Amino acid sequence: MENVDEKQDYKQEIIQLNNRIEELEALAKKQSERIEELEALVKYYEEQLRLKVKKQFGPSSEKTKEQEETQGVFNEVEDESNKKAKEPSLEDITQKGKKRVGKREEDLASLPVVEIEYKLPEDEMVCPECGGPLHQMSKEIRREIDIIPAQVRIINHVQYIYSCRACENNGISVPIIKASAGESLIKGSLASPSSVAHVMVQKYVNAVPLYRIEQGLLSDGIELSRQTMANWLLKSTEDYLSPLYECMKEELIKRNVLHADETEVQVLHEEGRKATTNSYMWLYRTSGDTNHSIVLYEYQPTRASSHPKNFLDGFQGFLHTDGYSGYHNLSEAIIIVGCWSHTRHYFHDALIAMPEGTQSGSNAEKGVDFCNQLFKLERDFEGLTFEERYTKRLEQSKPIADSFFSWINSIKDNVLPKSALGKAVTYAINQKVYLENVFLDGRLELSNNRAERSMKVFVIGRNYVLNKIMCS
């Protein structure tokens, strides 16, 4: 009996040991999976840290001209100075963006000319050798560019009023006739078209806040409060710019190729909303197929797709956008064209997030290279007609795009979705149909940078107070 009991105890111990082994193996497997998860998380955070540091402190080949111009404010003069550089002539300055044609006078015809003559006094028109009279032999001209700072002055509009003396003496009624003087810009205000235009340009073109405009005028002896200027802007917009805006919108909707973009803004003192709540400025503009650009901004409190849908009501054609899905179901008549610049940006981020020494030959570098090839061809296609560009793209660019997406499909299962490379691959896959639409028409552009540049001018001053009346 004892042997039987011992055997049963032994079997029970073996079963318990096997169970314990299984528990330990399960625990080890779970811990191993957790270690792998943590290692992946550490790699992700390291990647994000490298990306953040390089974006903040490192050089970037993707910086725009506007970004470069806003850096180095303190030593801008020293940085831009080059004492060895040749002083430009008037022809060089007035011919920026134009070809030199014809005579010098034709080149300078757009600038007003003031002549200051230097002549000898009559009593000095005597030859120092023989005492005979001097005559004008020739003349030398030294040219300068003269910049006159803004002048502030008061204009009194004196309106004369007339009546009839005969009617005054003999008539039953006396006619009163006023000389035509035109209407003031804002009734009962000191505002003039030039003063309001100056404030608008400073505020919305040069991104100078009202308080700095106020200080600048004060230094010239003009005490004009920011509240008064704000009132001028709102009233002028309501009376004059809003109708113009609607006319421009009607013209914009008639075009066949447009660009759209949106960015976050904060609006202070908006009824029913906190100042920290994100609002959005939407942008719609013409493309490069027109000689007269139209750029319109529209303020909206949200990023809902209903906003571009309502704004673009009646539009038929191509719309360049970024990857925001809110544009993708606007209308059957609207064909969305994706942005290859955004695609390149994702792969560029993945590239700079990699550890030093691992970038060469990486998938991130290959993604950037595919995009660079397409943009290089676009530079080669500049100057071609839209029909020629359409043909060249099908012959040279589309095979590169096809190879790019084939390569994307070959690597998509081997990248971590949350990594920078994973985000780049996911973006390319999700945007494939829209990115390929650029090959449908020669008028289309490879990127939405045209809208990005127009929006960048606006967001320079977006930290200051915005009022939706100025933008809607």
| pLDDT tens for each residue of 222-244 | 889 999 999 999 999 999 999 99
Looking at mean pLDDT, say which of 104-118, 138-152, 274-288 comes out highest.
274-288
Q: How many CB atoms within 10 Å of residue 363?
A: 20
Long-range contacts of 354-357 (CB under 8 A, 24+ apart): 354/47, 354/50, 355/46, 355/50
Residue corresponding to tokens 């030039």: 194
Residue corresponding to tokens 């700095």: 212
Q: Return the closest-CA partner of residue 430 out of 302, 351, 339.
A: 339
Across 16-20, 389-393, 439-443, least confident range? 16-20
Cα gap 190→215, rounded to integer Å? 19
Cα gap 293→261, rounded to integer Å? 16
- In sequence order, the β-bridge partners of residue 353 are none
113: pLDDT confidence band, cut at 50, 70 and 90? Answer: confident
Across 56-60, 243-247, 399-403, least confident range? 56-60
% residues pLDDT > 70 (the chain): 82
Is pLDDT above 80 for 457? Answer: no
| pLDDT tens for each residue of 317-334 | 999 999 999 999 999 999
Is pLDDT above 70 for 64? Answer: no
Residue corresponding to tokens 């949106």: 262
Sequence ranges of the domains in the chain: 256-470
| pLDDT tens for each residue of 122-160 | 888 888 888 888 888 888 888 777 778 778 888 999 999
Helix axes 193-200, 226-236, angle to 10 degrees: 100
Q: How many CB atoms within 10 Å of residue 136?
A: 8
**Three-state SS at 17:** helix
Across 46-50, 158-162, 452-456, least confident range? 46-50
DSSP letters for 417-457: TTSHHHHHHHHHHHHHHHHGGGGG-TT--S-SHHHHHHHHH
DSSP H helices, 321-362, are: 340-352
409: pLDDT confidence band, cut at 50, 70 and 90? Answer: very high
Pull the structure tokens for residue 41: 């998380």
Pull the structure tokens for residue 248: 């421009």
| pLDDT tens for each residue of 72-84 | 444 444 454 455 5
- In sequence order, the β-bridge partners of residue 296 are 284
Of residues 15 and 60, more confidently modeled: 15
Mention every residue, 6+ apart, whose C-beta is less than 8 A from residue 396: 377
